[in-house]
Structure 1
Amino acid sequence: MTPNLLAMSIAAIAWSATACAQVETQGDGIQEVIVTAQRTAAPESKTPVAMSVLTARQLDAIGADTPGALAARLPNTYLENSYDGLRITIRGVSNADVTEKGDPSAAFMVDGVYVARPQSQNVALYDVERVEVLRGPQGTLYGRNTTAGVVNVITKAPVGRFEGDVNAAYGSRGERKVGAMVNVPVNDVLALRAAATWNEHDAYLKNGSTTPRGLGLDRDDRAARLSARLALGKNAALLVRYEASRDDGNNDSTVPDSNFYNGIATGQPVWNGDSTDRQLTYRFNPPNTRFEQGYSHKKTSSLTTDLSWNLGPATLSWLGAHRSFDHDYLYNFYYRVAPTIALGVRQPFTGTYSQDSHELRLATNGAGPVTAQGGVYWFRERARDTYYFRDLQAVGLPPYYVFGNDPVEARSKAVFGQATVRLADGLRATAGARYTEDDKSRVGYIGYQRTAAFNAATDLRELNAGSISTDKTTWRLGLDYDLAPATLVYGSIATGYKAGGFNDGCAAGDARNGVGCPAATALPAASLTYRPETVRAYEAGVKTRFRDGRATLNVAVFHYDYRNLQLSNEVVINGRPRYETTNAGAASIRGLEADGQVLATSADRFTYALTLLDAHYASYVPDGVHSWAGVKLDRTPARTLSLGWEHRTHIKGGVLTAGAGTRASASYLLGVPQAGLKFRVPGHTESDLRLGWEPDGAPWSVLARVRNVEDKVRPMTISSSGLAVPTEPRTADVRFDYRF
């Protein structure tokens, strides 16, 4: 950690632990939020983990109805709805491999259930209780693939009272939304809850090419959830949720990176400063093909069962889930094959995915000198898919360059435990560990075909298969101390683990299902797999409430040592494009986060968040020649500052609520290491406004919102082939709610 950053960190913690250590009060103070970040219910202010919580009220106020809409409200966190799935970056750690063989670095969960595929993480957020975002490795309680952290969406469960809500919104760019919820207590032992949502909006992109097709960044999805809570006697309860959704949005939502940058061909991209209108206009006309109308059809269903049984000294719980996901799409690629040459590529795709998971956990009850929990976990995912890359004849490939996989399987099992011991009044020590075994395999082929259907007389296939088994013990040690009734000081050392995997290709002499591996295209065994990603994280923090509970401050400082950071890119091997993941040696991440809120008056609430971050490669030679040591990791601005204000005033006949928020970010990089390209995203601000009205005693309310007042866009991601996903431009909407 740099001297200035370390000094600021120490000063911030010392100030918050002394000057702000006052007793929390109720009454007009800031309401406490109960979270389950440590897998048991506890106040957020007493949970010794760096985290952010967005409640249902906050989500509705800012209009956050997809995970990608949350990012601007979360310190050191980016959630981006890319064309190929949700990209999560926490404190500079991310993952770009969204194929069937890839894993995220931050786990995305719904009601505590891990959702494996990024393409099915772009869910609609509706009837949500809260969203918990945990920053830092969570390997002990949440398992593998949580080296960066966890995003857990917690939906509302049935309650013992009748209630309902109908809402509708209409906005710019053809935005149309309708939602509804009803909760019915059938009797003393059974309560039911149903919720549904429907969302549409037109494309943000403009078509400036000669092909008459509609472009993406549009939306057309609907979802419904039915929940049932059943009391099984006095000490047990069963909660069952079933959800189904369909998404027919168009995923042709990228533009060439040249929409944002000049000088790409020279290897020195420079921000071009074009207008938002030009940056969102797709002007590429491929010289080798004619693009078709793109589409994307997703169908998702899930069944989750949560059983809790209070045994007196401890509670036994079982969380079981089954999820299925079907995806069918046609995507039109901009594909740069040389610094000054780009081709068009059409990619039809079809895939089916299913996953099952079970967790059995036993946790002690009460607040005795020792609290503990432990359990076992089992997970299985099976995928089957086919990609067709067309129009690459100019680089010596056939009309249909095919990747067919059946099956791709991932299995994981783990045993875990964690205990907290009270050492003295207000002082607690925590120790936990988790042992995980992962097995991943794929059987498939790479086809060189004249048509979509394979013809053995004219076409060729080569094996595309791999398997890897990895295991790891992750652990956590922590101390926390109640410095004052309303001030918690904590520190921890934690480790995280992300499973290893395999790349496209095959080893000489291998054969499966009648498909062999020709010696001419075989790859060295060492390049077919990559190692697990691991991290050791050191963290210290303070959570405090002061001004008689009318102000909060959370401060965290951290230092990460990453090993074998997994980075993914499209590469050309033996003249053929492949998707390859490699280990980046080492990375160092250190920083400070401070956030909180202040009730300045009975009518005014202010929120704030400051982050300082230094995240860079410690050792990395992506092309075997040029070192990237010292180069910043993607999406790691050195500084960000977020400020928010809400004013509530009672005027004749009702309550008027006005709100404003802004986030100012320093510049940051988006890197394509294999091509040696560093795209710098300039510093920027992004602001929101809202105005709401709720009549006295009336069951209805209305809320008007404007997002991205500046109307500036940036690339969220940039691929090695030159695809850039733009952020959303300025949007506005009006929402009406009726409650009963």
Structure 2
Amino acid sequence: MITSKICAARQVLLRGASMAVLFAASTAAAQTMPPAQEEAAEPIQGEIVVTAQRRSENLQSVPISIQAIGSDALADRGIHSPQDLAQFTPNVSITAPAGAGSQPSVTIRGIGLNDFNTNNSGPNGIYNDEFYISSPIAQGSGFFDLERIEVLKGPQGTLYGRNTSGGAVNLISAKPTDSFTARAHAEYGSYDTVNVEGALGGPIGSTLSGRIAAVYNYSDGYTKNFFRDRNENGTNNYAIRAQLLWTPTDDLSILLKEQFTRSKTRAAMYKFYGTLDPLTGARCSVADVYAMQCVDLFGYGGRPGFYEGDYNRNEKSTLTDSQTTLRIDYRLGSIDLVSLTGYDNAKRFQAEDTDSSAVRSLEIDYTTRSEEFTQELRAGQTESNYNWVAGAYFLSEVLTQDQPLSLLLDLDDLLGPGGADGVANIQSTLNRQKTKSFALFGQGEVEVADGLRLIAGARYTWDKKRFASTSFDNFQMGGKDNFGPPTNVSTVDNSLSEEKFNWRLGANYRFSPDLMAYVNFSTGYKGGGFNGGFLSSDPGLRELQLQAFKPETVTAYEAGFKSSLFDRAVTFNLAAFYNDYRNQQVQVLVPSPIPGEPSFFALDNAKKSRVYGIDADLTIRPTSELTLMGQLGLLNSRLKEFVSGRDPTQPDYSGNKLAQAPSTSLTLSADWRKPLGDNELTLHWDSNYRSTMFFDPSNNPYTAQPSYWLHNARISFSLKDGRYELGAFARNLTKKKYLVWNADLSDPFGVLTAIVGTPRIFGVDFNYKY
């Protein structure tokens, strides 16, 4: 087993290294040739500067796999949420099991946490201006007035904070400047979709500047609810961000940022698919399920339209999130000192029609509150032949959950008055979790020979977590909607303490100013925790659910190159990777032995899993007016050894693919900009492909999403050197119907509940810049 693993890793990395060497030889000759197009002789696009390694660098100089999307590209592609971002980042999937714009579930290179419970953070850190957002309910905030988004692929266990065993997403907001700036964006589209965004910034005094930005999103929704005669799955949220930058001296700057988000929607109306044969009650075939030929436990068959349903519950979802950060930068000689303090307070309530039907078979209320404080102190130095950074990090978080789950409340309608006594039930779960984490970290890079640089880094983490939970049942007694006193009362108070050392070793060699090859070896870690979901009434199963799950660890290998040819007319980057995971945290669906009780989701540890693949991106600028881009992600993922310990039947998932890990993801785009005096005409097109993927580790064919393409387009005309711009756009141009999340609730409800992808949207927009 060890030999085969080493051989597989060696093959992946040798292929990547071989490509780098061969490419170096060919490009050395290629760059002596004259450019094919006269227009490409001059640099066409400016450098993209990122801060992925805690210092400002040209994207092409960073020896890791990273994708950066700037503000113009965000606008052209209509990226307003985490789910929008996933379309344009191969080997990245982002779903929203709680509904659009809330609690994003991020998967990078096959590593994610498809868990809708709010007390567990995923293995891919989400950062807002380097502030780590721990609570899942707050991770969807901040997608407005951005300078860029950086997606770091692969474990980031050295420089970044907690839980980055898969990667990281960093949102970089536009900052205050010493000159006056203003921008406005407004768009209107199908389903009364409205997005209005604006920002204003500039000097307030000789040493003080500020910036304020706001956004408002609204949509009627694209799902028709025939039960209540209205549209569902809409949006209604706003956010505001204010920043003050004080620079009393050339060596000192203090940046204070306050951000507030408010959302009030009727999101997460799932698409209903019955799974039972209406005549025999047997489980239907996959084809019959999606042809809407089947029914649920109550005989309801759903609506035939993809964007239709009968939702009896007056569902609502509200979120408030307040975030404050204080960043202090001080230059002491040649040393850069940074203090970053962050605070986030979020609250979400969601009343959910979980069964997605006109009867009350399964309804859930979620109330979650989280409060997070972080402090990072670091020092660093950047010289021509070396650089280093070292620091300390602290996190404290308190999270509470109140989750009543209502089961089979309309069962009397099927069995007769009183027939549901002792079966219909309201299960309540009250959780409180406290987390503390402390880490010391450092990383250095030194040039040991002309063009050759070596990197070494380390991080030592201490984690403590305490989880208290109380759960009980209230069974129906005396007829419909009459419930008895609490029974099956269970109270637990568990804690865990962990510590882990992670490291990174790397090397990069610059063959020329425009070609660099690199290799990295690193480890990553994600702390263990507790299941914050619903508990079974069965004592044995409940005991399994309440056991802590283990920390997740990874050893990662990566080799790649980055190249810019013909004065940046062509850019080609490639990375090959192999990641070996131990105790990967995986969500499983556990059937209950109690009749009428639903299956339960729980987090478990897959003893061994691995992923390997390739990330590649190519940009060609044949003229100063035309830019062609292609980004490819190839992924092979496997659960190598996984017998679920949460399920008494111990199903064996070994050999299955990881959830939300399509083997192929591809993005193609073209941008044509035609100057017309002081004006400009712009055409944009992008096509995005995802191969078949599963939503759970069982690789359940009933919840698989087949491969699909999405196509988007935009045309715009700008006036007066880009100050004013009018545009029109189309998203999902070919009206592709696809699912972004799916859960099998066949036992006992006879239903699949899925979140559908956004339908085709046409719209117009206006932009102003000063």
TM-score, normalised via structure 1 length: 0.89
SS of alignment partner, residue 671 of structure 1:
coil
Establish whether residue 218 from structure 1 lines up as the match of residue 234 from structure 2.
yes
1:83 counterpart residue number: 98
2:653–2:697: 8 Å Cα contact kept in structure 1? no
Establish whether residue 129 from structure 1 lines up as the match of residue 151 from structure 2.
no
Q: Counterpart amino acid of 1:118?
A: P
Q: Counterpart amino acid of 2:755?
A: V
Aligned CA distance change for structure 1 residues 292 and 505 (closer, same or farther; 3 Å): closer
TM-aligned CA deviation for residue 503 of structure 1: 2.8
SS of alignment partner, residue 111 of structure 2:
coil
Establish whether residue 614 from structure 1 lines up as the match of residue 654 from structure 2.
no
Distance 1:558 1:458 in 2: 53
Distance 1:664 1:4 in 2: 27
Distance 1:309 1:375 in 2: 14
Q: Counterpart amino acid of 2:189?
A: G
Deviations 1:56-106 (A, max 9, x none): 111011111111111111120112233252010111111022323212011
1:710 counterpart residue number: 734
Distance 2:25 2:737 in 1: 42
Structure 1 window deviating more from structure 2 (517-526 vs 111-120): it is 517-526
Alignment of 1:233-382 (within 5 A): 233-257=249-273, 266=283, 269-270=286-287, 278=304, 280-283=306-309, 291-334=312-355, 344-367=361-384, 369-382=385-398
Alignment of 1:454-469 (within 5 A): 461-469=489-497
Alignment of 1:32-181 (within 5 A): 32-83=47-98, 85-123=103-141, 125-181=143-199
Q: Counterpart amino acid of 1:554?
A: N
TM-aligned CA deviation for residue 652 of structure 1: 6.3
2:763 counterpart residue number: 733
SS of alignment partner, residue 627 of structure 2:
strand
The correspondence for 2:26, drawn from 19, 24, 30, is 19
Establish whether residue 643 from structure 1 lines up as the match of residue 668 from structure 2.
yes
1:595 counterpart residue number: 617
Distance 1:698 1:484 in 2: 36
2:427 counterpart residue number: 401
2:235–2:267: 8 Å Cα contact kept in structure 1? no
TM-aligned CA deviation for residue 477 of structure 1: 0.5
Distance 1:197 1:74 in 2: 24
Alignment of 1:455-534 (within 5 A): 461-503=489-531, 520=539, 524=543, 528-534=547-553
TM-aligned CA deviation for residue 279 of structure 1: 5.4
Alignment of 1:658-677 (within 5 A): 658-671=683-696, 673=698
Q: Counterpart amino acid of 1:594?
A: A
SS of alignment partner, residue 69 of structure 1:
helix
Deviations 1:285-316 (A, max 9, x none): 7xxxxx32100111111110110010012111
1:546–1:552: 8 Å Cα contact kept in structure 2? yes
1:723 counterpart residue number: 753
Establish whether residue 560 from structure 1 lines up as the match of residue 579 from structure 2.
yes
Q: Counterpart amino acid of 2:435?
A: A
2:149–2:171: 8 Å Cα contact kept in structure 1? yes
Distance 2:288 2:685 in 1: 29
1:641–1:665: 8 Å Cα contact kept in structure 2? yes
Aligned CA distance change for structure 1 residues 214 and 619 (closer, same or farther; 3 Å): farther
1:257–1:718: 8 Å Cα contact kept in structure 2? no
Q: Counterpart amino acid of 1:329?
A: Q
2:267–2:316: 8 Å Cα contact kept in structure 1? yes
**Identity within the alignment, %:** 25
Q: Counterpart amino acid of 1:726?
A: V
Distance 2:578 2:522 in 1: 11
Aligned CA distance change for structure 1 residues 552 and 261 (closer, same or farther; 3 Å): farther
SS of alignment partner, residue 86 of structure 2:
helix
TM-aligned CA deviation for residue 415 of structure 1: 0.6
SS of alignment partner, residue 20 of structure 1:
helix
TM-aligned CA deviation for residue 640 of structure 1: 2.9
2:690–2:707: 8 Å Cα contact kept in structure 1? yes
Matched length: 715
SS of alignment partner, residue 404 of structure 2:
strand
Distance 2:272 2:246 in 1: 53
Structure 1 window deviating more from structure 2 (462-471 vs 126-135): it is 462-471
Structure 1 window deviating more from structure 2 (143-152 vs 679-688): it is 679-688
More strand by share: 1
TM-aligned CA deviation for residue 438 of structure 1: 1.1
Aligned CA distance change for structure 1 residues 503 and 739 (closer, same or farther; 3 Å): closer
Aligned CA distance change for structure 1 residues 683 and 329 (closer, same or farther; 3 Å): closer
The correspondence for 2:440, drawn from 399, 415, 439, is 415
The correspondence for 2:566, drawn from 547, 555, 566, is 547
Give the alignment's Cα RMSD to 1 decimal. Answer: 3.3
Unaligned runs of 5+ in 2: 1-7, 293-302, 412-419, 746-751
1:437–1:469: 8 Å Cα contact kept in structure 2? yes
SS of alignment partner, residue 458 of structure 2:
strand
SS of alignment partner, residue 502 of structure 1:
coil
TM-score, normalised via structure 2 length: 0.86
Deviations 1:233-288 (A, max 9, x none): 2211001110111001212331135599999965963597769x945334467xxx
TM-aligned CA deviation for residue 385 of structure 1: 2.4
2:474 counterpart residue number: 449
Structure 1 window deviating more from structure 2 (211-220 vs 323-332): it is 211-220
Q: Counterpart amino acid of 2:734?
A: E
Q: Counterpart amino acid of 2:756?
A: P
SS of alignment partner, residue 548 of structure 1:
coil
Q: Counterpart amino acid of 2:77?
A: I
Distance 1:178 1:581 in 2: 39
SS of alignment partner, residue 175 of structure 2:
coil
1:671–1:678: 8 Å Cα contact kept in structure 2? no
Distance 1:82 1:668 in 2: 16
Q: Counterpart amino acid of 2:225?
A: N
Distance 1:295 1:506 in 2: 20
Distance 1:321 1:670 in 2: 33
Q: Counterpart amino acid of 1:42?
A: E
Q: Counterpart amino acid of 1:100?
A: T
Q: Counterpart amino acid of 1:18?
A: A
Q: Counterpart amino acid of 1:550?
A: A
Q: Counterpart amino acid of 1:179?
A: E
Aligned CA distance change for structure 1 residues 260 and 574 (closer, same or farther; 3 Å): closer
SS of alignment partner, residue 313 of structure 2:
coil
2:299 counterpart residue number: none
Aligned CA distance change for structure 1 residues 114 and 257 (closer, same or farther; 3 Å): farther
Aligned CA distance change for structure 1 residues 78 and 457 (closer, same or farther; 3 Å): closer
The correspondence for 1:582, drawn from 589, 599, 604, is 604
2:273–2:290: 8 Å Cα contact kept in structure 1? no
Structure 1 window deviating more from structure 2 (553-562 vs 603-612): it is 603-612
Q: Counterpart amino acid of 1:300?
A: D
SS of alignment partner, residue 19 of structure 1:
helix
Aligned CA distance change for structure 1 residues 99 and 639 (closer, same or farther; 3 Å): closer
SS of alignment partner, residue 670 of structure 1:
coil
